[in-house]
Amino acid sequence: MPLKHYEHCCSTIQALASLGKIEGVIPLLHGPQPCSYQNQVGSMSCRPANLVTAGTLVNKSDVIFGGEEGLKMQVRNLYNKYHPKVIVIINTCIPQLIGEDIEGVIMELKQEIPDLKVTTCVSGFNFPRSMPLGSDASWVAVLDAIETQEKVLGSIGIIGRTGQDAGNLASLEMYFKKAEIPYFVFPTAHIDSMSEIARAEKYYPIHITPWLTCKHLTEKFGGEVEFIEIPAGIQGTSNFLHAIADRQNSQKLHDLVEEEEKRITPELEKIRARFAKEKVRMLMVDGPANEVSVGKIFAEFGAEVFVIPSMKNKFYKQEKKLMQERYGVTFIEEDFDLLGDIIDEVKPTAVSVEFQAQPECVSRLVPTFINMLYLCEYGYDYAIDLGTNFFKNMHKPVYENWQGLMQKYGGKTNG
């Protein structure tokens, strides 16, 4: 059993933050006060704007006598005050533990307010080891509120990871637009546009997280799901787009990919030359699943990459196999006590970790990147930007300076 947990946060935060980025949806956090407080404050930094983070503030008597009445009251309050199109009840640990009948509450509320759509998702200890799956669970809840629609012939659906992807997928969308392939994106920043996903004929997840979402999409709306690979890095993006071009029979998309590769290749070669010269070992520690995608980008540059994954679902296994075969990436799936133990073993040039691991890494004078800050990592330009600025952003001279200072005056580092 590990001594610490290095993920960014509880899956409840992920559900709260993702749902909170969708206009027309209000998440209602069904849990006790500390759960509301911690999850609201914790998601503050990644919320783009208004987020009504209503909570039921479950108390002791709710635990004994049931919190359903309080939940119903808060749903009514939210509906009367904001008239959202959808309310998603995020069912946290305590109500799960006492076996609250959330579905029953939803049924009653549907009869009481026919216009209102209420759905639910479970978070908290339902996903004890995988914070990003809070998004997956919340997207399923959103899909529950979407009506079946007529499919658009020859259309594709691009299935993203978290709320952060909503409105941030231009790096992929523009190729479909240029190639005149009808496409729908999920998530988007508005429930209306997000609902359009039901019209897609085929779904292409672009990350490893939305496995449940994709399963639910096909079950509810029909259509096929194909996980090609994460379109991150040059080869990853090209493979993804070429695969879609093949399926859609679109020479235009093939041509666009080739044009982009011509544009990007000289820059990629420069980056590879630098990585070849400076030999980088990157340790990617479980983040919002970008330990896999950003890890793939580094591996393409020529870095030796070690990944501690945040999840092990079906899409992850496919991507893992691909990264092992293509780039020889090492995956560390066994439990470990402290990150320092892994750092001592791997001896990385730099690590990519979550905030709470930063003091542990910096105090070892290991250059540290915060993986929560490296999102929307799709497409060509992201990879080139990451590679071009990697050595500058690593700030090795600052660490070396500190190493010198501590050797001379202090001496108490963990390195």
Partner 1 sequence: MADNKKDFKMQELHTPSAFEGALWACIGIKGADTIFHSPPGCYINQHVNALVNDWTCELYTTNLSYANIMQGAEERMETTLEKIVAKKPGAIFIVTAPTVEVTRDDVEGVAKKVGFKDTVIIHPPIGGSLVDGKEKAFTSLLDLVDPTVKKVPKSVNIIGPTFSTFNWRADVHELTRMLAGIGVTVNCVYTAGATIEQIKNVAQAELNLCIYPYDSGIGVAKEMQKRFDIPYKADIIPIGFGNSAAWLESVAEFFKLDPKAYLKECMDNAFEFISSNMVFTVTFEMTAALSLENANTYAVGISEFLNKEAGVDIVMTALSNPDAAKRLEALCNDVLINATIEEKRDKFVETGPMVIYGNFYDKKVSMDEGFKNFIFSDIPTIGYLSSENCPFMGFMGAKYLIEGLVNEVYMGIFLETKGDMMGSISTGSVPWDIKAEQAMIKVGEMIPHFVRATALKKLHQEAEKIAQERGTNVTLAIFREVSDKFTPTKFKAKFSQVFEDDAAPAPAVEAEKDEEIPVSSLTFTLPWDDAAKGMLELVPSPFRQAAVSGTEDYAREHGRDDVIGATMEEFRKELGM
Alpha carbon 36 to its chain centroid, in Å, reads: 21
Cα torsion through 311, 315, 316, 318, rounded to 10:
160
Question: How big is the chain, counted in residues?
Answer: 415
Cα separation, 352 vs 371, in Å, equals 5
Residue 358's nearest CA partner among 347, 343, 346 is: 343
Q: In terms of CB distance, is 243 or 406 closer to partner 1? A: 406
User: What string marks each residue from 191 to 230 as x (binds partner 1 by CB under 8 A) or -?
Assistant: -xx--x----------------------------------
**Residue 262 binds partner 1 (CB under 8 A):** no
Work out the number of other CB atoms within 10 angstroms of the CB of residue 277: 9
Q: In terms of CB distance, is 89 or 376 closer to partner 1? A: 376
User: Which residue shows structure tokens 């001496």?
Assistant: 411
User: Which residue shows structure tokens 């820059």?
Assistant: 267
Residue 240's nearest CA partner among 285, 178, 176, 294 is: 176
Calculate Rg over the CA atoms of the chain. 23
Residues 357, 24 contacting (CB under 8 angstroms): no
Q: State which of residues 18, 39, 74, 188 lies at the interface with partner 1 (CB under 8 A).
A: 188
Residues 159, 165 contacting (CB under 8 angstroms): no
Q: In terms of CB distance, is 298 or 374 closer to partner 1? A: 374
- Residues in contact with 77: Cβ distance below 8 Å, sequence separation at least 6, in sequence order: 54
Binding segment for partner 1 among 111-119, 133-141, 319-327, 351-359 (CB under 8 A)? 351-359
Binding segment for partner 1 among 67-75, 266-274, 343-351, 353-361 (CB under 8 A)? 353-361
**Residue 391 binds partner 1 (CB under 8 A):** no
Angle among Cα 207, 210, 211 to the nearest 5 degrees reads 110
**Residue 406 binds partner 1 (CB under 8 A):** yes
**Residue 153 binds partner 1 (CB under 8 A):** no
In whole angstroms, the minimum distance from the beta carbon of 355 to partner 1 comes to: 5
**Residue 190 binds partner 1 (CB under 8 A):** yes
- Integer angstrom CA distances of residue 173 from 40, 205, 244, 306: 31, 13, 12, 30
Binding segment for partner 1 among 7-15, 53-61, 119-127, 377-385 (CB under 8 A)? 377-385
Binding segment for partner 1 among 136-144, 167-175, 245-253, 325-333 (CB under 8 A)? 167-175
In whole angstroms, the minimum distance from the beta carbon of 388 to partner 1 comes to: 9
Residues 324, 308 contacting (CB under 8 angstroms): no
**Residue 73 binds partner 1 (CB under 8 A):** no
- Residues in contact with 261: Cβ distance below 8 Å, sequence separation at least 6, in sequence order: 234, 238
Size of the site for partner 1 (CB under 8 A): 56
**Residue 243 binds partner 1 (CB under 8 A):** no
Residue 369 corresponds to which tokens in the numbers above?
């990147």
**Residue 398 binds partner 1 (CB under 8 A):** yes
In whole angstroms, the minimum distance from the beta carbon of 103 to partner 1 comes to: 28
Residue 23 corresponds to which tokens in the numbers above?
């206009």
Q: In terms of CB distance, is 327 or 382 closer to partner 1? A: 382
**Residue 395 binds partner 1 (CB under 8 A):** yes
**Residue 264 binds partner 1 (CB under 8 A):** no
Q: State which of residues 92, 119, 123, 164 lies at the interface with partner 1 (CB under 8 A).
A: 164
Residue 246 CB-half CA count within 13 A: 7
Amino acid sitting at position 195: S
Residues 41, 29 contacting (CB under 8 angstroms): no
**Residue 374 binds partner 1 (CB under 8 A):** yes
In whole angstroms, the minimum distance from the beta carbon of 130 to partner 1 comes to: 20
Q: In terms of CB distance, is 67 or 379 closer to partner 1? A: 379
Residue 383 corresponds to which tokens in the numbers above?
């990879």
Cα separation, 384 vs 130, in Å, equals 29
Q: State which of residues 1, 50, 115, 147 lies at the interface with partner 1 (CB under 8 A).
A: 50
In whole angstroms, the minimum distance from the beta carbon of 261 to partner 1 comes to: 17
Q: State which of residues 7, 16, 21, 109 lies at the interface with partner 1 (CB under 8 A).
A: 21
Amino acid sitting at position 309: P
Interface positions with partner 1 (CB under 8 A) = 20-23, 45-50, 164, 166-168, 170-171, 173-174, 177-178, 188-190, 192-193, 196, 355-356, 358-359, 362-363, 368, 370, 373-376, 379, 381-382, 385, 393, 395, 397-398, 401-402, 405-406, 408-413
